[in-house]
Structure 1
């Protein structure tokens, strides 16, 4: 945490606190290490197949929150999920989608350990590491030579192929906060490494906003998790409505207010949410078939806005912490505030807190900074 600016104004302290809360929501190192070991083992096992997958060129890579850096640890010890794709590059026409799922299941059942851990899902095969995490393995085929990232994936209930684009989705999300010329090129490997944990000080406000929105979703729906809005919908809406704010607080405020206004303008019509990288993939399909899920989503956004609006009127961090406890969990919020206070007091008392003459932001002592005299720091609306 030495790379972060030390907050001085109320708004800087608010953002720092949100950043600390989100940091505590991330998977701990041991969970990530377990997931990485399992991911590598599963990848190697599929690559070693002498049957169907032996004859098919493919890449294996992570998709979803792992890929874009927005994963949060589950509430109350539930399993977290890791989504991976087997991206095959032969023509899919003429192949039976259910048979491809069966071939994947067949290969996994040939493994002494996996065979007792498998669960069939509609579009994937799940390996359940009980009480720890599960890996969802999605087989897909490149849709055409025109776009290397667009794929079709099996749908068991439809008995057909459906469109997707997990890599393109990740690039779209990153493009919301990284200029195109700075986008990192994907490594072209048979099995990509799992993306590294993004260092604390390099996490972007949009990534933090998604983590915090997802955590309040988990708390809001904790008594009926089956009614909760999916992470892919919340992440897409956040990307759609993010206004480029460099403040976590302002980023969430912009996303929630714009979503609220959009829902108000729709006046009961269902919000259409698609994969921006392949608009044939409709994330909001469930809302048409299960309207109660859409009503739950609307109520969630209304409730989120109500909580976020209260922050405008709160005086000082100690009043705001009550709102954060409700939204993000009591222990997480309290511990983040204690950690922040300790950090700032130590920096002040050690004479290590300086204000940059160029930016006015608090930072460590630098040649171009002025030392701040130690005093109490409680947060004010300055």
Structure 2
């Protein structure tokens, strides 16, 4: 009975994560938009063309963990990096930022869409119907030997970047450093077995090479768990500025993941173990960037202790909330446990889709009912007859 309940809970959580995900058309539209920007930046008459500009996604869009905003009125963000082949001797942060911004302003459409200059990036606000904005972070390659010296694998270190940040322009910081692609590759490594299996399966369906299937199109239990945890955080903590940031949730979840094959098992293990990777060193909490040991994702906790308190409280509450789901029997009870922590609208959508899948299984003759509990399953049990709506003949 417990196994059946776990299976049902995992299926419903998987369905909810699918509902939380942006749609395939939104993904394709976002990819088309940032590729169009890339084509414009490298145009033959562009002053950036000699520096071979490339643009690529970073953050949750790159990892496949982006989620819809709480309300349909809000936008989701697509974070990208604009990489120019320049050295630190050839340009400065302000010059690099201005080069990218000035060329965007040369195009009438991009000039109209350009938002007020951000701290690190330029932002393009697309039409209301698309409900997303595109952040473009100017960058140049970093000399990465220092990462190799700190035992960061070459496959991650070689993607290191120097980025722009207005808050450092008047300080003694030469160039802030980042490594979004190295982090994304590390993230893939944390789920490489099941990712490889699912990517290969999807590649066969799409008639592509596995390497050509983008990560955001492949959904593993780790990716789905992170989506659910981010939704739980957003719904239960609302607009609280001290709530856990996504990179912390993503990093700790990836460190805790052990290739679990289903969402519930992955969530349970992640929530049970993620706090062990939050270390106390030299009077402060530390969550190291796995591809840059000098970067502490929890550095702001020192000046804002409430951030740490809220994080640990949130993890404890999430453990209780997720554990409560599997204690419920039947779809109605499970949905009732999910609504207060994920939101009624999204849960209703997930339940409706889940019910439709069961209807199809019933019509195919694949649906069974556990005799002792009445729980519906595709495993052993009493076959659930198809509805005819006219009684027995």
- Per the normalisation by structure 2, the TM-score is 0.77
How big is the alpha-carbon RMSD for the aligned residues of Structure 1 and Structure 2? Answer: 3.2
CA separation of 1:279/1:88 partners in 2, compared to 1, >3 Å: closer, same or farther? farther
Structure number with higher relative contact order (C-alpha < 8 Å, ≥ 6 residues apart): 1
Spell out the pairing of 1:1-382 with structure 2 (5 A cutoff).
Answer: 9-48=4-43, 50=45, 52-76=47-71, 77-93=73-89, 95-116=91-112, 117-129=114-126, 131=128, 132-144=131-143, 147-159=157-169, 160-179=174-193, 182=196, 195=214, 197-198=216-217, 203-224=219-240, 226-260=241-275, 266=280, 270-311=284-325, 313-353=327-367, 373-374=383-384
Larger helix proportion of the pair: 2
C-alpha contact (below 8 Å) 2:66/2:227 kept by paired residues: yes
Cα 1:305–1:141, aligned 2, differ >3 Å: closer, same or farther? same
1:30–1:271 distance in 2 versus 1, CA, 3 Å: same
Contact 1:82 1:134 in 2 (8 A): yes
Could you tell me how far apart the structure 1 residues matched to 2:25 and 2:351 are? 25
1:232–1:283 contact (8 Å) kept in structure 2: yes
Mapped to 2, the partners of 1:283 and 1:207 lie a distance apart of 20
Return 313-322 or 114-123, whichever deviates more: 313-322
1:180–1:217 Cα change, 3 Å: closer
Q: How much does 1:88 deviate?
A: 2.7
Q: CA deviation at 1:273?
A: 2.2
Q: Tell me, which stretches of 5 or more residues in structure 2 are unaligned? A: 146-156, 200-211, 369-376, 387-393
Pair 312,370 (structure 1): closer, same or farther in 2 beyond 3 Å: closer
Shift in Å, 1:69: 1.0
Change (3 A) 1:194 1:173: same
**Alpha-carbon displacement from aligned partner over 1:327-354 (angstroms, at most 9, x marks no partner):** 2111221232233233224323432459
* Correspondence for 2:203: none
Q: Distance in 2 between the 1:154 and 1:267 partners? A: 29
Cα pair 1:57 1:90 within 8 Å, conserved: no
Change in Cα spacing, 1:220 to 1:268, as seen in structure 2 (3 Å) is: farther
Contact 1:36 1:194 in 2 (8 A): no
Tell me the CA shift for residue 136 of structure 1: 0.8
CA distance in 2, matches of 1:10, 1:349: 23
Q: State how far apart, in whole Å, the 2-side matches of 1:223 and 1:64 are.
A: 20
Q: 64-73 or 45-54: which moved more?
A: 45-54
Structure-2 change in CA distance of 1:342 and 1:180 (3 Å): closer
> CA contact under 8 A between 2:366 and 2:383: conserved in structure 1?
no
| 1:134 counterpart SS class | strand
Q: 1:269 Cα shift?
A: 5.9
Superposed displacement of residue 19, structure 1: 0.7
On the 8 A contact 2:62/2:215 being kept in 1, the answer is no
Q: 2:283 & 2:330 partners in 1: Cα distance?
A: 39
Change beyond 3 A, Cα 1:51–1:155: same
Superposition deviation, residue 81 in structure 1 = 0.5
Instruction: Considering fraction of residues, name the structure with more strand.
Output: 1
Number of aligned positions between the proteins: 345
Q: CA deviation at 1:145?
A: 6.7
Structure 1 residue runs of 5 or longer lacking an equivalent are: 1-7, 185-192, 355-361, 364-368, 377-382
Kept in 2: contact 1:10–1:317 (CA 8 A):
no
